[in-house]
Structure 1
Amino acid sequence: MPRTGSRGGPQTRAKIAEVASGLFVERGFDAVTVADVAKAAGVSSVTVFKHFPRKEDLFLDRQAEAEELLLTAVRDRGPGDDVLVLLRDLTLKLADDRHPLSGLADGALSFFQTVAASPSLANRAREIAAGLQQALTDELEREPAYPGDIPLLAAFFIAGYTAVLVDTARRQLAGEPLEAVAEAHRARLNGLCDALEKIYPR
């Protein structure tokens, strides 16, 4: 990952996040201060807060990416495209690519261990999920795809995906082989989408 660039640029943000993640995994989230991160990254605490208003976002730093992937998947649909099919395709692709947002990437185990050990990170993860739910609701209501309750659809999907991630984390923390975890992850994603398609048929 690039480690040079202006103090205000994306390279600086990426460097801060990388350094912070390493410290949090090594020492535990609650044992590391923002000042520790700034010193290790070679920037000021002010610069850290410029990029990450909350300490938790130094570790949970993919909210914008998650929202962009989610909204792009449904925003770019054609006239006959089914939103739930598009969401299924997106989540299965994340799993197949071992994307960090799937919980199946290299380093996922240490990520889950760090989150599990910090109530503040767990709380922030729930806040992020609530934000994604609202963003999905707002996008789907711009051009309704279903005659049913769209906020409820968004709530079902985000809560369901969160449940899949929690199970994926639990399995990895219990020491299950990653391939078995990935297989269970895909099966639960398909189960989630199958259930939603029964509630919201085309």
Structure 2
Amino acid sequence: MEETLYLRMRHKINVKPNHTVTIGDLAQIISNDSLKKEVQEKIVYHINMSDRNIVVIDVMTVIEKIYSFFPDVDIQVTGASQTIVEIEYKKRNFSPVFFIGVWLLLFVGAALAIMNFHEDVSMREVHQRIYYIITGEAVEKPLLLQIPYSLGLGLGMVLFFNHLFRKRINEEPSPLEVEMFNYQQDLDRYVMMNENKESTKKLDDH
């Protein structure tokens, strides 16, 4: 009786250099236990130094490998047709001096951006006008409005990014996380199209 095997490629996996990539690493498999175990252990690719950072493995490569060992299996494929194999090399130690330098650069840049925006929209004059409307007094520095406004600005940034240091305020993703997710999705699609050797073939002119 012909066995049926359901296979779904994972979107991305992370491996170390010189790792041996098996079908179990690349895909989720549903079948009877004995067949599933045998298929998962089959080697598809061996990571080497010439691969640099990324390898894309196509589902057709996996199917070909399965058929070479189990020619009578009925393979049903669902989901993605490629898996991105990202090779994680040893990370360099992070320099505290570099971290402080980047932090200061971002802090000063953000502060200047906010200050320039407030200057462009004449925020001080707006506060003075609002204070005069409420109290009937003209003052140069309406601190009664400026201090709560400054505190509210900082609180608003915390709520906007949904993080207080490393602590997440709630489970909803921040706009920055959504943008980073969209960027990663576009990057993955680009990699799949350009790094997958099976997706494009250059034919010699005859």
User: TM exceeds 0.5?
Assistant: no
TM-score normalised by length of structure 1 = 0.27
TM-score normalised by length of structure 2 = 0.26
User: Which one has the bigger strand percentage?
Assistant: 2
Largest Rg, 1 or 2: 2
